[in-house]
Amino acid sequence: NAGVTQTPKFQVLKTGQSMTLQCAQDMNHNSMYWYRQDPGMGLRLIYYSASEGTTDKGEVPNGYNVSRLNKREFSLRLESAAPSQTSVYFCASSESGQGRQYFGPGTRLTVL
Amino acid sequence: KNEVEQSPQNLTAQEGEFITINCSYSVGISALHWLQQHPGGGIVSLFMLSSGKKKHGRLIATINIQEKHSSLHITASHPRDSAVYICALTSGTYKYIFGTGTRLKVLA
């Protein structure tokens, strides 16, 4: 089992460019999450999907959109990247909302 | 006041020392989680607790529901234990409530 995979690992964008971060899990988990982690700060929830077909905003959703494509995949889209979105992005999944979360390796994004 | 407080924020220990990291919280919980984030960035779930005590190798996690307090202990610490340790709660929603983390450095 690969667990939670994320692509790409690194990305550099110019202000105003768009991109999609991909996340997939092979554990048949119902819930999936997108977090960002800024230097010296903790993890902040951007969006989550409690189950296939549902998505909800977290603490810091502005500037992002998500798609729960199917049970395995949960993508995060930046429509018009801004330097404030420079961060490390983590995807996670859990069997249920109350359960242990399994994290992907992260995507390091720089917006110039 | 934050719902989850961790202490200490930073901790430096000598190899072989017994280490304790504390987590106090102020809300009702369904479970408490301990996570480890290594300098390379990866995040690993160490424990999920709703009562009592769990042990995995040199790591022990305890929780006292009445006192709203959990501890993570590392016995015979080693430089490879150097990481940020994060306490997180699940509390009736689909979201973690994160503590601010404890940065541990174990010196050889």
Residue A84 sits at φ, ψ, to 5 deg, of -65, -10
d(CA A56, CA A79): 18
On chain A, the residues whose CB falls within 8 A of the CB of B31 are 98-99
Taking CB atoms and an 8 Å limit, are B44 and A31 in contact across chains?
no
Q: What pLDDT was estimated at residue B1?
A: 62
On chain B, the residues whose CB falls within 8 A of the CB of A42 are 86, 98-101
Q: What pLDDT was estimated at residue B92?
A: 73
Which residue out of B27, B95, B97, B103 would a mutagenesis test of the A interface target, given it has the greatest number of A Cβ atoms within 10 Å? B95
Mean pLDDT over A59-86 rounds to 95
Cβ-based neighbour number of residue B34 at 10 Å: 24
- Chain B residue with minimal CA distance to A5? B42
Which residue out of B30, B33, B38, B43 would a mutagenesis test of the A interface target, given it has the greatest number of A Cβ atoms within 10 Å? B43
Which residue out of A103, A107, A108, A109 would a mutagenesis test of the B interface target, given it has the greatest number of B Cβ atoms within 10 Å? A103
d(CA A36, CA A61): 10
CA–CA min distance A107, chain B (Å): 10
Taking CB atoms and an 8 Å limit, are A97 and B95 in contact across chains?
yes
Q: What pLDDT was estimated at residue B39?
A: 82
- Whole-number percent of chain A with pLDDT over 90: 82
Reported as a single tens digit per residue, the pLDDT across B51-72 is 999 999 999 999 999 999 999 9
Taking CB atoms and an 8 Å limit, are B94 and A48 in contact across chains?
yes
Mean pLDDT over A68-88 rounds to 96
Taking CB atoms and an 8 Å limit, are B95 and A88 in contact across chains?
no
Contact A25, A37 (CB under 8 A): no
Burial B6-21, CB ≥16 within 10 A → b, else e: beeeebebeeeeebeb
CA–CA min distance B90, chain A (Å): 6
Reported as a single tens digit per residue, the pLDDT across A16-50 is 999 999 999 999 999 999 999 998 788 899 999 99
Q: What pLDDT was estimated at residue B34?
A: 97
The confidence band for A58, taking pLDDT boundaries of 50, 70 and 90, is very high
Taking CB atoms and an 8 Å limit, are A98 and B31 in contact across chains?
yes
The pLDDT of residue B2 is above 90: no
The pLDDT of residue A98 is above 90: no
Q: Which of B10-19, B72-81, B90-99 has the lowest mean pLDDT?
A: B90-99
> In the predicted model, what is the mean pLDDT of chain A?
93
The pLDDT of residue A111 is above 80: yes
- Whole-number percent of chain A with pLDDT over 70: 99
